[in-house]
Each structure stands twice: as C-alpha cells, then as structure tokens.
Amino acid sequence: MKYPNGKQFTSALEKKKSTINHGSRGMSLENEINQSNQYYLSRGIAVVHKKPTPIQIVNVDYPKRSAAIIKEAYFKKASTTDYNGIYLGRYIDFDAKETKQLNSFPLNNFHQHQIKHMQQCYDLGGICFTIIKFTKTDEVYVLNFPDLFKYWKRKEENGKKSISKSEIEHNGYKIKYNLNPLIPYLEAVKTIIDHTNI
C-alpha cells in the first residue's frame, strides 16, 4: 500500500520483522553469541562463557601509570573450542565458525586439536556442537558433534574437504534470528539433549 504522495507504507509489524531479521548484519557471530549468552545468564537459563585464549606476554609499554599496552605476545598453547558452560544440568562445549562460502563450509576452519577436544568431552557425556554462520546470507546452523565428526572423518579418509550446505541443512538445526536472545541456539541444544541417551 502507498501513501497519496507515492511513498510506500510499512506497518509497525513489518518494521519489527525487518529489525529481527536484519538487525545483526555486520555483527560478528562471536558478538551475536556473546549477546545471546548474556541474555541466557541474566534470565538464569544457562551459564555459557567464551574461553580466554592463553597468551604469554613478552613486551609491555607503559605510556601512562594507569595504562599498559601489550607490544608483543605469543599464544601459550593451541586453544580448544570457543565456548563452554552448563545448560539443563549438562556440560556444553562448542565452537563458532563463519564462512563467506554460499554452498559449503570448509573443514579447514577446524584444527585437529579442536576435534580431539570435542571428542574427549563428548565421550565423557558432554554436549558438543558447532555453530556455523553463512555470512553472505545471514543463515545460522547448529551442527551436533557426531555429525561434524562424520564429515571430519570423511575428509581424513581423503574425501570431501568441506560440508555441503545441503548436508548442514539436512543434519543441522537452522536458527532464526530473534530479538531476545538474538541467536536462540539453546533451542537446538535442548533438542540434542532430548535425543541423547546418556
């Protein structure tokens, strides 16, 4: 519908939908997850935090007494996954990955030690998964670790070096952007927990 002056009429509901679907554009997946985790924490739903990356500081500059600038630092050891915490009484551990690819997710986004870490957590009853974002289309999926491991193993056996988007759509859980939390990924995690026999 248009106004008499020719301008397009947009209802409040349409404006709200637009905000929900596109309000996160330009925000990194990490920031979106951090914002969602803050919401979950403030409501007592889950405690999930980003793991700090262990670094060894080598050189520090003190331009002021109250401020220090790190000039040189090195990673102490290879990091494992991005996030861990507790939800519904279960330990959860996951990584967040973004890709600019339209039709596949390259497995070189993962390192062997990350897969090994998730395998160890999963073997002890942890709920492990990855959150994958296709940045060009703003689509987000949760992929359970057993499915990720299946594709990783295929790659290790000289198979495909990526997961096709259709495979992610078939095996993963698509997450629709929301107002609060921005990425309601725990809905998918609850489904994973409900289908876990441990």
53-76 pLDDT, tens per residue? Answer: 655 666 777 777 677 777 776 655
What's the CATH class of domain 32-52+80-194? Answer: alpha beta
Residue 20's pLDDT is what? 40
Residue 69's pLDDT is what? 78
Residue 119's pLDDT is what? 97
List the domain boundaries for the chain.
Answer: 32-52+80-194
Burial label for 106, CB within 10 Å (0-12, 13-18, 19+), is: middle
Residue 19's pLDDT is what? 40
Q: Give the amino acid at 6.
A: G
State the SS3 of 109-165: HCCHHHHHHHHHHHHCCCEEEEEEEECCCCEEEEEEHHHHHHHHHHHHCCCCCEEEH
What parts of the chain have a pLDDT lower than 70?
Answer: 1-27, 53-58, 65, 73-79, 197-198
Cβ-count burial 127-148 (b if 16+ within 10 Å, e if not): bbbbbbbbbeeebbbbbbbebb
* CB distance 22 to 14 below 8 Å: no
Residue 59's pLDDT is what? 75
